Each structure stands twice: as C-alpha cells, then as structure tokens.
Structure 1
Amino acid sequence: MRIEETGIPGAFAVTPHLLPDDRGSFHEGMRADKLEQVLGAPFVPRQISYSVSGRDTLRGIHTTAVPPGQAKYVTCVHGALRDIIVDLRVGSPAFGRHHVCTLDARSGRSLYIPEGVGHGFLALADDTRICYVMSTVYAPGTQIDIDPFDPRLDLPWGLTAAPRMSKKDTEARSLAETLEAGLLPAWQGTGV
C-alpha cells in the first residue's frame, strides 16, 4: 500500500495494492503498522461506523471537539464520493485549507484524517456506503459542524443537482462563527 501525505499536515491518502484474479480482487484496506510508521503514533480503533447515502447527498463538514478528539480512517466500500477534508486546527500552517479526493469501492483508496480536521463528502452514486474507523467512541455533545457552503472555505463540491442534507448541516455555523465561539481545537504539531 502507498501512503501519501495530503496538503493537510497529518492527513494521509492510502492507496492499496489491488490483487486481481478471475474471481475479483483482494486488497489490504488498512495496516495499522504501516499507518503508525507515518503517523509516529499508534492508531487504535475504538469504533467502526457506516453511512449509506443516495446520490447527491452531502454530509459535513464535521469534526469532534478536543478532548476527546477523534481521528478517522475513511473508506468507501460501495459507490463513490467526493471527499473533502478541512484543517480546523487553530494555528495550523494549513488552517482553513482543504484537500479533495475521490474515494470509491473499486480503488479501495482511504483517507486518514487526524483529530481536529473536518470531514465531509458528496455521494456521487446511489447506495454509496462509507466505513469510518475511529480512534474514540461517539461522545454526545462533542460534534462540531461547519457550514459546507461557507464562502470563506469555498469548497469545490462540484454539485450537479441540489444536495440532500441534514437539518444540522444546513444550519451549521460558518468557520468564523465557530472560531469566534472558541470551539475549534488548537494546533499541536502534526497531531491536533
């Protein structure tokens, strides 16, 4: 597998080596030892969650307050999506910058998203299914939601139709409002 740093410090794109044969293919979706080599720290899964979305569903931008913080390893296991991560760590050299990539089941590509980095996606196909491997369990009241259409972020969603969104995402605060409310985590090197 190939692990490459994105333009967001501590966030990595992981591309597996596919082994195709006449039955289909096989690949390693995650190798903690290889991931930990580039992270310089352990990644211990504490929760695995899934979402299923129809085409043109937009989810995010979401992160978790620190503490408890939550790193994520995100993989599309069916369908395809445009994945966008945003550095929300106050003081980070990449604060407010984003990274965009396509995740799809065919490639097996994944993203490692460190604590304090926001995540969102647009489903590009019906029945798009995402697997989230997370470093902490869900803690009610710790979710931070940022407006995915915040003009300051200018995220390239590439919409071809009006997106389906949750009420909490359509009512999410802007980056400036969230910053002013003191909700964003502080940058502490390549981690949070």
Structure 2
Amino acid sequence: MNDLSELSRRPYFDHHWAGIRHSCDARVFSMPFGSGSKNVRGKRMHANPSSVARMAGHPLHPMFVPFPIAFFVGALVTDLVYWRTASMMWETFSIWLITAGLIMGGLAAVTGAIDFLSNREIRGLSPAWPHALGNTIALILALINAFVHSRDGYTSVVPEGLILSVLVVIILAYTAWMGRTMVYQYGVGVTE
C-alpha cells in the first residue's frame, strides 16, 4: 500500500476540496502547501503543519471558529436593529449573542492557542501572528462590549456598543481571512 492509494480512489471533487491540483491521473498530484516535503512517485509532496488540539483525528479549532463569528455578526445586526427601533428586545438579543460569542470564542481561542504554541511550523507562518493577535484583540473588544451592553437604557448600545460590534466584526473578517490562508495556502491541520 502506497501513500497515494487512498487518494487515487477518490473522485476529482474530493481532490479539489482537499486542495490537491488535479491531473488526468489522480495518482500524480502535488500538495500546494506545507514546509516539509517528501518524494512520492517522482513528485515532491509537502507535509502540512499539523493541528495538536484534535478529537478523533479532526482539528478542534476550525470546528469552533464559525460559532463566534456567527454570534458576533448576529450581535452587530441586532445592535443595528436596536439603533433604528429602540426596542429593548433587540438589546437583549445582542447581549445574549455577545455572551455566546465570548463562550465559543474562548473555546476557539484555547484550541487555537494550543495549536499555535505547540507547533513551531504554525508559529513560523506569516498569517499565524496576525490571526492570533487579531482574534485576541477581537475577544477583548467583545468582552468590553458585553460590559457596555450590560448598562441600562439607550446608551447600552448607542453609540459605544454599536461601534464595538462593528470593530469586532471587521477584525474577525480579517482574522478569518488569515485563518483561511493558513488552511488553504499552507495546509495547517489538513491531513494528507
């Protein structure tokens, strides 16, 4: 059994989503990322930086990441609706979404920090530092936003809460792009 036996049986669609460039012969391909490499059937294969925080072979950090993004974007939307309507229901939705985003963001941060601190290859990638620092700043701003939202009245959202929600979403958009770059360009956590 060789390194490519499993991949050679997969259809093109799986190769495409795994980041593998397709050729007429699916057994001959090259991985477009990773710092280490090995030769397989005359092609130079790259080893991907592995994720340390795993469960059943799957990296945990990418499993947690979509939740805080969705919660913080939802909080921004409910802040905007509250700004336009002044209905307290929307402010209540915002604080619950921010709280849920902080909880899930904390889980994503812990698993991301485990990967970042445990693997020198990941720390060596250029998008890793902006990704880690940006997410840390976003969580700190979200925590401040939770305290701002805990005030009574219209000032709990407008203007400080709304500004903080916008900043958190902008930072998360950037750090999500950096995380995407680490996965799709450098293959962080992608198993071969």
* Band of TM-score, shorter chain: under 0.3
When normalised by structure 1's length, the TM-score is 0.24
Structure of higher CA gyration radius: 2
Higher RCO structure (Cα 8 Å, ≥6 apart): 1
When normalised by structure 2's length, the TM-score is 0.24
Instruction: Pick the structure with more strand per residue.
Output: 1
